[in-house]
Structure 1
Amino acid sequence: MQPGNHALQLLLWQEPIYPEAFTKSPFTLQIHHNIAQLPVFNNAVVTIGTFDGVHSGHKHILNQLKAEAKSISGETVIITFHPHPRKIVSYTHKVRLLNTLEEKIALLSNEGIDHLVIIPFDEAFAAQSAEAYIRDFLVKRIHPHTIIIGYDHRFGKDRAGDYLMLEQYAEALGFEVKEISEKVLNEVAVSSTRIRKALLDGDIETANALLGYDYFFEGKVIEGNQLGRTIGYPTANLAVQNHEKLIPGNGVYAVEIKIGETCFKGMMNIGFRPTVDGSRLAIEVNIFDFNRDIYHTTIQVFVKHFLRAEQKFNGLDALKAQLARDKEMAMQKLIR
Structure 2
Amino acid sequence: MKIYNNLSEFKKLANAIVTIGTFDGVHFGHQKIIKQLVQKAKADNGESVILTFFPHPRMIIDPENQDLKMINTINEKAEILNRLGVDHLIITPFTRDFSNQLPEDYIKNILVDNIGTKHIIIGYDHRFGKDRSGNLNVLKTAGTHFGFTVEEIMEQDIHDVAVSSTKIRQALLAGDVELANDYLGYPFSIFGRVIKGDKIGRTIGFPTANIFVEEIYKLIPGDGIYAVTVEMSSEFEVEPSEAGIHQAPSSEPKTTYQGMAYIGQRPTINGMTRNIEVNIFDFNREIYGQDIKMNFLKFLRHDVKFTGLEALTVQLQKDKEATLAYFSG
Instruction: State the TM-score, normalizing by the size of structure 2.
Output: 0.89
- In the other structure, the counterpart of 2:304 is 311
Secondary structure of residue in 2 paired with 1:79:
strand
**Correspondence 1:301 to 2:290:** no
Q: Name which of 311, 321, 328 aligns with 1:328.
A: 321
Secondary structure of residue in 2 paired with 1:275:
helix
Alignment of 1:1-16 (within 5 A): none
**Correspondence 1:59 to 2:52:** no
Q: RMSD of aligned C-alpha atoms?
A: 1.7
Secondary structure of residue in 2 paired with 1:325:
helix
**Correspondence 1:237 to 2:210:** yes
Q: Name which of 146, 162, 167 aligns with 1:194.
A: 167
The answer to whether the Cα contact below 8 Å between 2:208 and 2:279 also exists between their aligned partners in 1 is yes
In 1, the alpha carbon distance for the partners of 2:61 and 2:303 equals 37
Alignment of 1:140-289 (within 5 A): 140-186=113-159, 190-260=163-233, 261-287=254-280, 289=282
The answer to whether the Cα contact below 8 Å between 2:23 and 2:30 also exists between their aligned partners in 1 is yes
In 1, the alpha carbon distance for the partners of 2:192 and 2:44 equals 43
In 2 relative to 1, CA 81–291 (structure 1 residues): closer, same or farther, beyond 3 Å? same
How much does 1:188 deviate?
Answer: 6.7
The answer to whether the Cα contact below 8 Å between 1:61 and 1:184 also exists between their aligned partners in 2 is no
Instruction: State the TM-score, normalizing by the size of structure 1.
Output: 0.87
In 2, the alpha carbon distance for the partners of 1:36 and 1:322 equals 55
In 2 relative to 1, CA 188–278 (structure 1 residues): closer, same or farther, beyond 3 Å? farther
- In the other structure, the counterpart of 2:70 is 97
The answer to whether the Cα contact below 8 Å between 1:233 and 1:288 also exists between their aligned partners in 2 is no
In 1, the alpha carbon distance for the partners of 2:317 and 2:218 equals 30
How much does 1:287 deviate?
Answer: 4.9
How many correspondences in the alignment? 308
Secondary structure of residue in 2 paired with 1:224:
coil
- The answer for unaligned runs of 5 or more in structure 1 is 1-28
In 1, the alpha carbon distance for the partners of 2:33 and 2:48 equals 11
- The answer for unaligned runs of 5 or more in structure 2 is 234-253
In 2, the alpha carbon distance for the partners of 1:31 and 1:285 equals 32
Alignment of 1:25-104 (within 5 A): 29-91=1-63, 92-104=65-77
In 2, the alpha carbon distance for the partners of 1:302 and 1:86 equals 27
Secondary structure of residue in 2 paired with 1:98:
coil
In 2, the alpha carbon distance for the partners of 1:310 and 1:155 equals 42
Quick one: percent identity of the two aligned structures?
49
Secondary structure of residue in 1 paired with 2:279:
coil
More displaced 10-residue stretch of structure 1: 198-207 or 276-285: 276-285
Superposition misfits of 4+ residues, deviation over 6 angstroms: none
How much does 1:69 deviate?
Answer: 2.0
The answer to whether the Cα contact below 8 Å between 2:258 and 2:280 also exists between their aligned partners in 1 is no
Deviation by residue 1:89-116 (Cα, 9 ceiling, x = unmatched): 2224433001111111100010011111
Which amino acid counterpart does residue 225 of structure 2 have in structure 1? V
Secondary structure of residue in 1 paired with 2:164:
helix
